[in-house]
Amino acid sequence: MVCALSALLHSLLLFGYGAAVDVDPSSKESLKRAASTIAAELRSSYHGDEPGQIPGLFPYPTYWWLAGAATNAWIDYRNYTGDTTYDEIVTQAIFHQIGPNRDFLPPNQTLAEGNDDQGFWALAAMSAAERNFPDLPAGQPQWLALAQGALHGQMERWDDENCGGGLRWQIFAFNHGYTYKNSISNGIFFQLNARLARYTKNDTYAQWAEKTFQWMRKIQFMDDTLNIYDGGNLPACAFVKNSTILWSYNNAMLLGGAAFMYDYYNKSPVWLEIIKGLLSKAISSFFYQEAIVNEPACEPYNTCNDDQISFKGYLSRNLGYTAQLVPELSARIFSVLRTSAVAAGKACTGGSGTTCGMNWTLGKFDGHSGVGGTIAALETITSCLAKDASLPSAMNTGATSIGDVNAGRTSSSGHKTKIDPATQNDKVAAAALTLGICVSA
Ligand SMILES: *[C@@H]1O[C@H](CO)[C@@H](O)[C@H](O)[C@H]1NC(C)=O
Ligand SMILES: *[C@@H]1O[C@H](CO)[C@@H](O)[C@H](O)[C@H]1NC(C)=O
Ligand SMILES: *[C@@H]1O[C@H](CO)[C@@H](O)[C@H](O)[C@H]1NC(C)=O
Ligand SMILES: *[C@@H]1O[C@H](CO)[C@@H](O)[C@H](O)[C@H]1NC(C)=O
Ligand SMILES: *[C@@H]1O[C@H](CO)[C@@H](O)[C@H](O)[C@H]1NC(C)=O
């Protein structure tokens, strides 16, 4: 009787919501099926491979960096599920956006591209290298060299003159935000260095990662209890209005990067303590009732933009990496990822049946559709599969992507393209929204 009733309710639910995304997190097949549904949902909003469209871009109002994040989500998805459906569009997208210096600074993005935006694409290239995603043919840029290209340019932009170090948010002086240093730019820089150290075994990268982490602590972007604030204004990197907001993706980048450092240093107890601290902070700050990943700075107020809706996806992604690299924490991590994946499934029932919402605590679609929510759901469901995935590869463990120690070395010069004031304001406003800080464009 009970079974019959629940079967009936189940089918009514399926009927009522069309193609609902049912997630049984204890079943690998169920997780794969759900991930594949959301990966296809993300694909349905992408048109960059169609005639007349630009590869690597989603239609307005989805910004360039979010396309880099989506690419990364497809790459990790492919590795965790074995589904190669998106190989061609992913390769084409990355290849089109590498820019003339092969460092993810395409001239079209100059008016809005910050170190963080560039960083999201570099992270995608890094994932492609670590996950043995098929490289472009010899003679073409390789994933590893592309990640290095972006990172080496960022090293050249490290700024000791202000606040004792760190990257500025913006790359180009004519962009608003050039006088702001922020945690996401520096957090991605930290993580890329940590991953390149582990991949190449070149200690220079590890030293940069250490230096970045120490600087973020010293300047109090990361406080004594491991809260990570958005950023601060030059000259002193002082906090200003809204810049003490805690966003989940900042915790994400530091946590994931720390996990790679832990592995690079052969299970360093020092990094383990940091990881445990960041993990506890992630769960207490960014998981509703310690069970459903969310963005407390904007979700409860219904004020998240599409960029911000995606942030919690990067937390899920990095929790997956951390569970892989620090197995003793995996039970705790998968416990919160699984409850979140179930909640995401229930929220991905809008539109034609698989559109994902923003607030996953409601048990249903909440009306907020967009690429950001789709990425967040894809990352969260996919990351549950990290449990059975192989470790990210490195040069001594089967990695095949070829690097270039000189990649991107001169990237900070030579990109001074003409500014069109009409498009500048729009793009700058868009970029500011990404971080929820107020700049008057
Ligand atoms: C830059 O914009 C032009 C004109 O829209 C387009 O043809 C080209 O593909 C774009 N390049 C990139 C890297 O997005
Ligand atoms: C996932 O990545 C690992 C590490 O690079 C690799 O060994 C494995 O073959 C990949 N799996 C798939 C399905 O691509
Ligand atoms: C290690 O990395 C640094 C920074 O990219 C580079 O300058 C140096 O040449 C690399 N060393 C080796 C041995 O590859
Ligand atoms: C989700 O929406 C409900 C109802 O509006 C609200 O009470 C709750 O705070 C929201 N949850 C989160 C995590 O924002
Ligand atoms: C930033 O502050 C303003 C006003 O103080 C507020 O309306 C806005 O919601 C804040 N932004 C975020 C992302 O919380």
CATH of the domain at 116: 1.50.10.20
Residue 203 located in a structural domain: yes
Determine if the pTM surpasses 0.95. Answer: no
**When comparing pLDDT for 49 and 137, which is higher?**
49
**When comparing pLDDT for 6 and 408, which is higher?**
408
Instruction: For ligand 5, pick from 182, 229, 242 the residue to mutate: most ligand atoms within 8 Å of CB.
Output: 242
Give residue 423's pLDDT: 35
Q: What is the mean pLDDT of residues 317-334?
A: 98
Rounded to whole angstroms, how far apart are CA atoms 293 and 189?
Answer: 24
Residue 440 located in a structural domain: no
For 15-56, write each residue's pLDDT tens digit. Answer: 334 457 899 999 999 999 999 999 999 999 999 999 999 999
Q: Cα of 78 to ligand 2 centre, how many Å?
A: 9
Q: What is the DSSP letter of 64?
A: H
For 295-313, write each residue's pLDDT tens digit. Answer: 999 999 999 999 999 999 9
Residue 57 located in a structural domain: yes
Does 362 have pLDDT greater than 60? yes
Residue 251 located in a structural domain: yes
Mean pLDDT for the chain?
A: 90
Does 123 have pLDDT greater than 60? yes
For 384-421, write each residue's pLDDT tens digit. Answer: 999 999 999 999 999 999 999 999 987 444 333 323 33
Q: Which of 162-171, 225-234, 264-273, 405-414 has the lowest mean pLDDT?
A: 405-414
Q: Cα of 205 to ligand 4 centre, how many Å?
A: 41
How many CB atoms within 10 Å of residue 391?
15
Instruction: Confirm or reject: Cβ of 294 under 6 Å from ligand 4.
Output: yes
Instruction: Confirm or reject: Cβ of 204 under 6 Å from ligand 3.
Output: yes
Does 169 have pLDDT greater than 60? yes
Residue 12 located in a structural domain: no
Give residue 419's pLDDT: 30
Write b or e for each residue in 348-370: b if 16 or more Cβ atoms lie within 10 A of its Cβ, otherwise e.
bbbeebbbbbbbbeeeebbebbb
Does 367 have pLDDT greater than 60? yes
Domain span at 370: 19-392+424-435
Instruction: For ligand 3, pick from 199, 405, 406 the residue to mutate: most ligand atoms within 8 Å of CB.
Output: 405
Instruction: Confirm or reject: Cβ of 405 under 6 Å from ligand 3.
Output: yes
Q: Cα of 405 to ligand 3 centre, how many Å?
A: 6
Total domains present in the chain: 1
CA 344 distance to own-chain centroid: 17
Question: Looking at the CA of 247, which ligand is closest?
Answer: 5
Residue 58 located in a structural domain: yes
Q: What is the mean pLDDT of residues 162-173?
A: 97
Residue 402 located in a structural domain: no
Residue 277 backbone phi and psi in degrees, to 5: -65, -45
Does 64 have pLDDT greater than 90? yes
For 241-274, write each residue's pLDDT tens digit. Answer: 999 999 999 999 999 999 999 999 999 999 999 9
Residue nearest to atom 9 of ligand 5 (CA): 303
Residue 83 located in a structural domain: yes
Q: Which of 3-17, 184-198, 265-279, 363-377 has the lowest mean pLDDT?
A: 3-17
Q: What is the mean pLDDT of residues 120-139?
A: 95
Q: Are 401 and 143 in contact (CB under 8 A)?
A: yes
